[in-house]
A = this chain, B = another copy of it.
Amino acid sequence: MSTPRGPYAKTSAKREKILEAALAAYAEAGSRKVSVRDIAKRVGMTDAGVLHHFGSREALLTAVLQARDAAARAAHGSAADDLRAGLDIVTHNASTPGLVKLFVDVAAAAAETDHPAHAFFEERYADGRRGLAEQLDRHARDPEAPHAPEPVTPVDPEWAARILLAATDGLQLQWLLEPDIDMAADLAALYGVLMEALRERA
């Protein structure tokens, strides 16, 4: 537990500092660009110094996202194990536009096979899908499980439209990493389910 070894713990103190600075930089940046130089200034170093610890800008940003995931898990639990935690994380994300922007940026860039975050995102989605599917399955079989969380958002056409558009965009992200996904088929099924729900509440 003390003075951890291995490639990921080598420079843990400084790495930690840099990650914090990067996190802060992105949080403050709203949705503007952040350069390695910017981050370096915050820790009182040069860009080369920062890169020394991470190898490249992209690797650094990947590490930021990993740190963000770890922090979220520490605070709320794993979304893959607990749906409630997932919603809490989303709620929390809504207070940090800069980091959401970072996530979206890197997720897009990670479609490149040789991007440092490529494997990270592949795993993230694979794990997320596995965990979520398991939870959904368990809850669906368990009559004790809540039928649905408090419906803050009404199930209405506007909501369904947002969801349909969101699912379209999000599936593209997953599909770029995992081309086996049949986007149109998945969306058609979603359309069917949404329609059914709309009719039910009408």
Contact = CB atoms under 8 A, between A and B. Distances in A.
Interface of A: 31-32, 83, 86-88, 90-91, 93-94, 97, 100-101, 103-105, 107-109, 111-113, 125, 128-134, 136-137, 139-141, 147-155, 157-176, 179, 181-199, 202
- Stoichiometry, copies per complex: 2
A184 B105 CA distance: 21
Given A31-B112, A152-B182, A152-B189, A140 B157 contact: yes
A170 B175 contact: no
B132 A183 contact: no
A164 to B, nearest CB: 6
Given A159-B189, A189-B153, A196-B197, A172 B140 contact: no
Contact of A173 (B104, B132, B183): B104
Which 7 A-B pairs have CB atoms at the shortest separation, nearest pair first? A148-B192, A166-B170, A132-B161, A170-B170, A169-B170, A152-B185, A133-B161
Contacts of A199: 140
Given A31-B113, A87-B191, A151-B192, 6 more contacts: A136-B157, A136-B161, A140-B202, A148-B195, A153-B186, A159-B186
A103 B82 CA distance: 32
20 contacts: A86-B168, A86-B187, A100-B172, A136-B160, A136-B195, A139-B195, A140-B199, A148-B193, A149-B188, A149-B191, A150-B188, A151-B189, A152-B188, A152-B189, A163-B171, A166-B167, A166-B169, A166-B173, A166-B186, A167-B167
